[in-house]
Amino acid sequence: MNKTKMMKKNLLVSFLAVLAVSLVAIAFVSASDLVSVESVKINGVTDNGNGDISVSAGEKIAVELTFEASEDASDVRLKASLEGTKVDSDSEIFVGDVEAGKRYIKTVVVQVPYELKDEVSDDLTLSVKVWNGDFKTELDDVTLRVQRASYNVNVVSVETPQTISAGDVVPVDVVLKNVGYNDLDDLYVSVKVAALNIEAKAYFGDVVAVEEGTGDNKDSDTVRGRLFLQVPYNAESGVYSLEVSVSNSEMAASKVKQVFVGNELPSSVIKSGNSLILVNPTSKLKVYTLVADAPATVSESVVVVPAGSSRTVTVESNSASQ
């Protein structure tokens, strides 16, 4: 009886051992390489494993993979991932069917994340994977050097009053940040509404690439300024494009913001230079009350216009820019 139990136990152990070996073999086949990689190129430059390829923050790079298929496989995909300290970026393409022993060249485009806040360059890890439902090949990580563009500025914000009316002197607050590799010297900023033929310009000075120092001795990578635009009195109500342009001898950048301008002046009020012509086309006397927004002033605040006639009022804008 004991001998029979022993034989059954040995058979069970043998069966489990065979099953374990079979599972290991299946797992090994499932994890086998799908392709044999010959080369990896970044923007046409072959990676030699020494981390000497440099890319620019924010740009889109082409990752070109040359490989030979190790298996016949369908629904194959290729994925490239860039892993930064705080921000990751990835992209994948559909390769399709591959045949064992055949060579392929495939390219995937991925955007380099921008996370260089307190430095002008840093390392970034590129990982590449080729796979389908049965097989997978993961390449060794590629180290890339990511740099800021040589000269670059970000228009962080453009602020205007929520309500703008025809005739207003509009303050435009602009915030700029240096996101380039080098310091920016002699920055000029202009704001304009082309449809209204109005524009203002100002000098914003120099901005360092990386903040240095503390307190009053701190050199900031951000600069703020205010410009003023005089909206014409005859501007029609509607949405206008306000364009902010930044430039110096090395670079130029711009940003567009939509603003709404209202005009509640009656059609009987005509703008001519610095004057308002009040027309009374009716057969009755009309009285106009004029209220100017500071710093503008008018020569008369209450104007009486007889029937069938007109009166002219002078408007002084008294605007200044800083």
> pLDDT (tens digit, 0 to 9) for every residue of the chain, 322 residues total?
445 555 555 545 454 444 444 443 333 334 578 999 999 999 999 999 898 999 998 899 999 999 999 999 999 999 999 987 777 899 999 999 999 999 999 999 999 988 777 789 989 999 999 999 999 999 999 999 999 989 999 999 999 999 898 878 999 999 999 989 999 999 999 999 999 999 999 999 999 998 775 666 567 899 999 999 999 877 888 999 999 999 999 999 999 999 999 876 565 566 666 777 887 766 667 777 777 777 778 888 888 888 878 888 888 876 644 4
User: pTM for the whole thing?
Assistant: 0.62
Cis preceding-peptide flag for 113 (omega within 30 of 0): no
Q: Give me the pLDDT at residue 266, please.
A: 60
Q: List Cα–Cα distances, 149 to 25, 55, 112, 317, in angstroms.
A: 51, 9, 12, 42
Q: Are 96 and 104 in contact (CB under 8 A)?
A: no
Q: Give me the pLDDT at residue 250, please.
A: 94
Q: Give me the pLDDT at residue 269, please.
A: 65
User: How far apart are alpha carbons 77 and 36 in whole angstroms?
Assistant: 15
Q: Give me the pLDDT at residue 215, please.
A: 62
Q: Are 260 and 299 in contact (CB under 8 A)?
A: no
Q: How many CA atoms lie within 13 A of 57 on its CB side?
A: 22
What residue ranges define each of the domains in the chain, with the CATH number in brackets? 35-147 (2.60.40.770), 153-262 (2.60.40.10), 269-316 (no CATH)
C-alpha angle 217/220/225, rounded to 5°?
115
Q: Are 137 and 34 in contact (CB under 8 A)?
A: yes
Q: Give me the pLDDT at residue 26, please.
A: 36
Q: Are 61 and 32 in contact (CB under 8 A)?
A: no
User: How far apart are alpha carbons 23 and 208 in whole angstroms?
Assistant: 61
Q: Give me the pLDDT at residue 89, please.
A: 92
User: Please, which residues bridge with residue 258 across strands?
Assistant: 241
DSSP state letter for 217: G
Closest listed residue to residue 142, CA positions, set 128, 153, 130:
128
Q: List Cα–Cα distances, 105 to 40, 47, 70, in angstroms.
A: 10, 15, 15
**In terms of DSSP bridges, do strands 184-193 and 198-207 run parallel, antiparallel, or are they unpaired?**
antiparallel
